[in-house]
Amino acid sequence: MNQQSNFSASWSLTTACNYKCKYCYRYTSGKLSSYEEAKGITDKLYSWGCRKLSLAGGEPMLWHSKAEVIDLIRYLKLKGIKTELITNGSYLTTSDLDNFKDVLDILTIDIDTLNNAEQVLLGRPVSHLSHALSLHHYARKSGMKIKLNTVVTSINLVSIREMCEFVKKNGYYRWKIYQYMPVVEFTEKDDSLTVSDDDFEDLRKYVEDQLNGSEVQLVIENNDQMHNSYMNITPDGIIHTNKIENKRIIKIEIGRVMDMNFKNFTANEFVDLVKFYKYHSVTEERRESCFA
């Protein structure tokens, strides 16, 4: 298998979530795969060259049980697939982190702002920020790699600038910043959260300047970079990519992992292979640093 065929993908283990973030982009349908079905899906992804899998949701800790989430991550590790858990953290305790620390490669608990009033406006519970920060603190002391995901909306556009110093000082491994875009299936999504391309690029420049020379891996994705480049998988194992039309994300169904081969994915008219490998290739070097 050549180097270029190694890639990362994202799997939404469940559509269920206990939060109501206004910018949510999760899938709204798809029955849970059983643990055995999940192993079959990941075996197939591995055979295609998947070497990093982000387990997301909804809230992934609502998939069957905590023990099965950990078992699946352990299974992936033994197979040679790096894992990232993208969680809101609300179901995690510090003793859960003790169980994750030897099997999970990257723990991602999103923070969009350090301002509690803003996070409530974004639809997150008032307890989110302090709980997420305490988990970050504990995980960091345990030697885990912590990644931050931040969605840029009109609400937190300014205060994200204040996060730069915080991110630098607190040993985050990676900071991924996305430009908000409404998803078509959420028709009630609020267009007033949108930030203009110019405002987003100004923010990009500011954050890049502030983090220049720091050890934090910075990834900043505008709407164009999200277009036709992802391999996203629903709970029941159906691959999608994203298309952007009229400033809204449209999820394009490609096919069921278990019923297709990798060529069906790469040949799909909505998959831009150059972008896919540019943003989602996992070379050995990147794999070592979990960068993908």
Binding site for ligand SF4 (CB under 6 A): 17, 19-21, 24, 26, 57-59, 88
Minimal distance in Å, beta carbon 124 to ligand SF4?
7
Question: Distance between CA atoms of 288 and 272, rounded to whole angstroms?
Answer: 26
Minimal distance in Å, beta carbon 112 to ligand SF4?
10
| For ligand SF4, the closer CB: 21 or 104 | 21
Minimal distance in Å, beta carbon 33 to ligand SF4?
18
Minimal distance in Å, beta carbon 228 to ligand SF4?
22
Strand partners, 82: 52
| For ligand SF4, the closer CB: 112 or 287 | 112
| For ligand SF4, the closer CB: 20 or 278 | 20
- Tell me the Cα Rg of the chain: 18
Q: Which of 52, 290, 53 is nearest to 174 (CA)?
A: 290
Taking 3-state DSSP, the helix, strand and coil percentages for the chain, each rounded to the nearest 5, stand at 40, 20, 40
Which positions ≥6 away from 132 have C-beta within 8 Å?
Answer: 88, 89, 109, 110, 111
| For ligand SF4, the closer CB: 16 or 103 | 16
| For ligand SF4, the closer CB: 23 or 100 | 23
Strands of 7-12's sheet, edge to edge? 217-221, 174-179, 145-152, 106-109, 82-87, 50-56, 7-12, 232-233, 238-245, 248-256
Phi, psi of 192 (to 5 degrees): -70, -10
| Structure tokens belonging to residue 86 | 């993208």
Please check whether residue 171 is in contact with residue 130, taking contact to mean a CB–CB distance below 8 angstroms.
Answer: no
| For ligand SF4, the closer CB: 19 or 35 | 19
| Structure tokens belonging to residue 260 | 């297709």
| For ligand SF4, the closer CB: 59 or 84 | 59
Minimal distance in Å, beta carbon 204 to ligand SF4?
22
Minimal distance in Å, beta carbon 56 to ligand SF4?
8
Is 159 exposed, middle or buried (CB count within 10 Å of its CB: 0-12, 13-18, 19+)?
middle
Minimal distance in Å, beta carbon 215 to ligand SF4?
27
